[in-house]
Structures are given as C-alpha cells and as structure tokens.
Amino acid sequence: MSETRVDPHVKILDEQVIERAKSRGLDVLVYAPHFTRLPAARRRAERLSDEDLLVVPAREIFTGPWQHRKHVLALGLDEPVPDFITLEGAMRELDRQDAVVLAPHPEFLTVSLDRGDLRAYESQIDALEVYNPKHLERHNERAVELAKTLDMPEFGSSYAHRKQTIGEVWTAISGDIDSETALLEAFREGRDRRVERRNGSRHDWRCRAEFAHLAWENTWKKFDRLLLSGTEPTHPDHVAYDGRFDDVAVY
C-alpha cells in the first residue's frame, strides 16, 4: 500500500523550506506559524504548494495566560481563532468548526496539555505527538506512555523553527494524501501511520539547536512586544474577531 510522508507541524515556510522538504522526501507540510492569523497562513501555504509538495495551513492556538499556556494544534478551520483565550473556549470553538485537533508536545514544560486535559478532551483530540526535536528523551518517553495509556493515535513532527530541522521527523500515513481534505480525513479516521525520524550526530545536534531556541520563545519580553498591545493579529481584542471571544479572553 502507498503511504504519504507528512510533517504535521512546522513554524517556518519559504522557498528554501520547500526545497529542503522535497529533497528529504516529504509529501506534506502543515504550516502553523506563531501569532499569525489563519488567512495569512493560508495565502502563504497556497502560494508555495505545488504538485510535489502540499502545504496545509493550521493554527497552534495558545490557550490560557502566557505563564501557563496550553498549545492546541488545529487543522481544517473555516474561521480564525485567536490566542490567549481559555482552553475551554478554544475547544468549544474547534468543536463548532469540526476542526481536526492535535495535541503537540504533551506535558512539555508549561506550554502543553497535561494528562487531565487529554482525558477531558480525548473524544475531541485526533492524535497526540510522541516525538519532536524540541523534546528531550524523557519527554518523548512520557509522550509515548501517554498515547498508550489514553489509546490515542500518535504523530511526530519536526516542529521546525529552524530550516535545518525540516525533514528530521515525519509521520508516514498509509494511503495517498493529495489535498487538505484528504489529510483531515486521514487524521479523523485514525489511519495507520508510523512516526519516523533521522538518526546520528547531525540529528542530535539539530535537536539540541531546536531545544536551545526555546530560550527566545519563552521570554516575557517577546510576549510583551507581540501581544500586550491588543493590536497584534491573534490577540482576542483585535478588530478581526469582532468581539466574538471577549467572554473567554484571558487578556
């Protein structure tokens, strides 16, 4: 049976990323940049997709306050969803839109769904991440244990914030996936898949480089500059959301 090599979560996208993904045998990238509204991500994905590499736009939603944020990866959205709304509010909206929901880096630092969250929303979560280069080995082992305990389908991604990480991890899903709709169906069906990755010293070095990138990602200075103004694209106060999320906003 044929299979499709999917990287379900990358943060960067340009011509060099596309060429690197192709050279490393990937078929699909899911592009979910931080603090970028869905229409902008979709335009970029459409511009860089071609017959050799499908790029699917998505949103990694930051739920809750910055200090205790819980990330949720959503595919198949019809309408934009902001960051920094409650987890309950976000999951209710994703259910309303019938989005595919993936749980990235579970129980990782202070940025993830924990075991209680996963149990609470297990009927809504389509897959749980068990490997990405930002994880340390103990994080990967814990994620695998969670997936087995909760009987959730697994996925792995590059979670690439750096171009060199593209092609280091992917999920091989059975069957041909040649459209966004086909990818959504594969996750909803829980289709057979394998999490695969590269090995060796170069992979280890690229994993360490991605982990080191967390130092910038998790600074209050970055948060203050990006979001506290209330005018940034994914702030719930932004005019684009027309006040729809005022009742669940945390800032």
Query: Which pLDDT band, with edges at 50, 70 and 90, does 222 fall under?
Result: low
Instruction: Answer for the pair 230, 238: CB distance below 8 angstroms, yes or no.
Output: yes
Instruction: Answer for the pair 129, 143: CB distance below 8 angstroms, yes or no.
Output: yes
pLDDT at 251: 87
Q: How far apart are CA 224 and CA 232, in angstroms?
A: 11
pLDDT at 109: 83
pLDDT at 9: 98
Domain membership of residue 90 as a residue range: 3-248
Please say if the pLDDT value at position 104 is more than 60: yes
Report residue 124 CA to chain centroid gap. Answer: 16
Long-range contacts of 141-149 (CB under 8 A, 24+ apart): 142/106, 142/107, 143/105, 143/106, 143/107, 146/106, 146/107, 146/115, 146/118
More confident residue, 106 or 136: 106
- In this prediction, residues 85-96 reach a mean pLDDT of 98
pLDDT digits (tens, 9 = 90+) for 130-187: 999 999 899 999 999 999 999 999 999 999 999 999 999 999 999 999 999 999 999 9
pLDDT at 37: 93
Place of tokens 């005019």: 239
Please say if the pLDDT value at position 76 is more than 60: yes
- In this prediction, residues 82-111 reach a mean pLDDT of 96
Q: How far apart are CA 125 and CA 40, in angstroms?
A: 25
- In this prediction, residues 63-74 reach a mean pLDDT of 93
pLDDT at 244: 96
User: Whole-angstrom distance between the N-terminal and C-terminal Cα of the chain?
Assistant: 49
Q: How far apart are CA 242 and CA 86, in angstroms?
A: 17
Q: How many domains does the chain have?
A: 1
- In this prediction, residues 188-216 reach a mean pLDDT of 92
pLDDT at 44: 98
* 3-state SS class at 62: strand
Mean pLDDT over all residues of the chain?
93
pLDDT digits (tens, 9 = 90+) for 203-217: 999 999 998 887 666
Instruction: Answer for the pair 22, 53: CB distance below 8 angstroms, yes or no.
Output: yes
pLDDT at 7: 98
CATH of the domain at 44: 3.20.20.140
